[in-house]
Amino acid sequence: MSLTEIAGKIPVIRASGTNYGIGFTHGTSGRVQIGVSLDNLKAGVEKTTGHDWGMCRKIASAFIPAVRAMAPQYLEEIQGIADGAGYSFEDIFTLNCRTELGQQFSHNMGMNAETALHLAGGCSVVGLNHTRTASGTTMYGQNWDAPHSQIPTIVFMIVKQEGKPDIAWAGEAGMICRMAGMNSAGIGLGGNSLFTDAPIDFEGLPLQFAYRFIMDQYTFPDAVEAAVKSRVASNINFMVCGPEGEMVNLEMEYRGYGMLYMENGSICHANSYCHPKLPRPPYRETDWFPKDKLRSFRLAGLVGGLEGNQLSEKDLMDILSDHSVNYPTSICQHAEDFATLTSTVCDLNRKIMYVAVGNPCEGYMEVDPFNE
């Protein structure tokens, strides 16, 4: 259960200390990957919207007051990443507002809305609590779906903090936090974008900062409260999980949210609203992604078909690796321009992670990130 196998595929970055120190190590160790991620975002925005990087930085700067009010220490970490990687604070802050840029531009771009929204990516999340598993532990998993160009940006982060839980996650370098990981208190966090015609909330935390705000909590109730208090700027579903077996989906919308609980010890979500009262009028869910609806239906069908209380991490891996229907835009995506780039299954009691770099159908690597 070492990180050697993962390190053979993607960089493993270990960062510790103050927020600035964590950021500086992150930036120094992930400099190349951060550069690729910035280049991808700049090129994607210009191609999709015609806006230049200066416009992106100007839009992103509108979120700084909200971050400063709720979690000013994260601005120190952004500065550390910037200094370590050799970029400006504005560049790294804007990179961490990528999802909000995609949703903001989509509302103004008409025919290019679908492309703009795909800056946010797509995802599938699934979980089983202790009443359903042979080990008596609670597990959850997530696929991260994104353009192939993001492959060179992926790192595995282990963050050891002062006065807060340690965090482990796989995703793009330069981000203050990503979903599909867990913390040393056994809190797990999944996420997947939701798409409506509601405006961006510039008084809420950008998504990556909200992820970190949630993962900095020691208990499940505090993590759920942090998700709500973040008043996340973009439409998103958070799946928050705790080691005692509690799991909820929080479908976040413009200045509101809806909560969905487990059924029979299991839970899942893809890029589609499931709460019967969301989104609230006058806003509506966009209809640009019918293939995401199919993936959501398939995911719910597979989870609903699980039987018994002797399930294991392999059952979650099998679901996340599924492409028996709707291929190539299946749960395990293999589309020409969009695919599943990472997949993670986490045991929140044993603190074990199973990580797939690339499509999960190609296999997972086991790692114990907090006990190397």
Q: Please, which residues have CB within 8 angstroms of residue 281's CB and are 6 or more apart in sequence?
A: none
List pLDDT tens digits, range 124-151.
Answer: 999 999 999 999 999 999 999 999 999 9
Contact (Cβ atoms closer than 8 angstroms) between residue 310 and residue 301:
no
For the structural domain made of 120-367, what CATH number should be given? 3.60.60.10
List pLDDT tens digits, range 177-229.
Answer: 999 999 999 999 999 988 888 888 999 999 999 999 999 999 999 999 999 99
pLDDT surpasses 50 at 347: yes
Estimate the share of the chain in helix, then strand, then coil, as percent rounded to the nearest 5.
Answer: 35, 25, 40
User: Domain locations in the chain?
Assistant: 4-116, 120-367
Q: Please, which residues have CB within 8 angstroms of residue 356's CB and are 6 or more apart in sequence?
A: 342, 343, 344, 362, 363, 364, 365
Which segment, 41-45, 141-145, 333-337, is predicted with the most confidence on average? Answer: 141-145
> Residue 281 and residue 268: Cα distance in Å, rounded?
25
pLDDT surpasses 70 at 121: no
Contact (Cβ atoms closer than 8 angstroms) between residue 151 and residue 171:
no
Residue 240, both tokens: 């928050």
pLDDT value of position 52: 86
Asked whether the CA dihedral 75, 81, 84, 86 is positive or negative, the reply is negative
Contact (Cβ atoms closer than 8 angstroms) between residue 117 and residue 103:
yes
Asked whether the CA dihedral 144, 254, 260, 74 is positive or negative, the reply is positive
Three-state DSSP state, 244: coil
HSE (CB half, 13 Å, CA atoms) of 208?
A: 26
How far is C-alpha 339 from the geometric centre of its chain's CA atoms?
15
HSE (CB half, 13 Å, CA atoms) of 68?
A: 5
Q: How many CB atoms lie within 10 A of CB 109?
A: 17
Q: Radius of gyration over alpha carbons of the chain, in Å?
A: 19
pTM: 0.95
pLDDT band at 111 (very low <50, low <70, confident <90, very high): very low
Q: How many CB atoms lie within 10 A of CB 22?
A: 27
Contact (Cβ atoms closer than 8 angstroms) between residue 244 and residue 219:
no
List pLDDT tens digits, range 59-102.
Answer: 999 999 999 999 999 999 999 999 999 999 999 999 999 988 87
pLDDT band at 106 (very low <50, low <70, confident <90, very high): low
> Residue 106 and residue 115: Cα distance in Å, rounded?
8
Contact (Cβ atoms closer than 8 angstroms) between residue 355 and residue 156:
yes
pLDDT value of position 2: 75
